[in-house]
Amino acid sequence: MVEHDQWKPAVHAYLACVSFVDHQVGRVLDALDASTHAENTIIVLWSDHGWALGEKQRWAKRGLWEAETRVPLIVAAPGIKGERRCEQPAGLIDIYPTLADLCGLEKPPHLEGRSLVRQLEDVNAERPPVITTFFENNHSVRSTRWRYIRYSTGDEELYDHNADPHEWHNLASNPKLKTLVEKLAKHLPAVNAETAPGSSGLGSREEDRHLFRNVK
């Protein structure tokens, strides 16, 4: 990107895409407001996960850092107070049980997500950390303050979002934070699904080893 002087045009195109989608969302909401269903419709807005736009020398849509894992998540529903922001962690697997609760439907027993209704009612209600997985045995654990990452190689990363929101300083080797690392590591999945056939598997190629190097 930098070598061919495409960094600014690429960011420009990315933001243009976001702006275009935002406009289309507005059109849908305007149509809903003009209909007879505005007062009894639940709206959930989310997106695909993020894209690294040069951060950490990466242009990629895969990873376990904040830029590549965060998404917008907005919920509007009858009886739910609007214009509030909840800082608690959430995953997209939480949408299904949330909608089931809002609609008064029975939730299937196989769901892994947790309903967000409590947080919709009280934005300060605490939730456990959420997990992001990229290939077998590569996970990040995100709490309100910390992101902990463990790779299949055993390498670890820890970031304090209060002091380091862009995740530049890996604190995993700090002995003063050993107890915190152990606490976050307890949320890692006990069972890992095997990498799907045809997938490269993290760390199996030099490209992956380069992309997922530790950040000091």
How far apart CA 179 and CA 154 sit, in angstroms, is: 17
Q: Which residue has the tokens 């275009």?
A: 20
Angle (CA) 107-114-137 rounded to 5° is 115
| pLDDT tens over the chain, length 216 residues | 888 888 899 999 999 999 999 999 999 999 999 999 999 999 999 998 878 888 888 888 888 999 899 999 999 999 999 999 999 999 999 999 999 999 999 999 999 999 999 999 999 999 999 999 988 899 999 999 999 999 999 999 999 999 999 999 999 999 999 999 999 999 999 888 887 787 765 544 444 444 555 444
So what's the pLDDT on residue 110? 93
Question: What are the chain's domains?
Answer: 77-126 (no CATH), 128-216 (3.30.1120.10)
Closest to 31 in 3D by CA, of 16, 46, 43: 43
| 109 CB neighbour count, 10 Å cutoff | 5
Burial of 211 (0-12, 13-18, 19+ CB in 10 A): middle
Model's pTM, two decimal places?
0.86
pLDDT value of position 172: 97
Taking the C-alpha atoms of residue 194 and residue 198, their distance in angstroms, rounded to an integer, is 12
Cα(124)–Cα(133) distance, integer angstroms: 26
Count of CB atoms situated within 10 Å of the CB of 62: 16
- Give the per-residue pLDDT at 200: 62
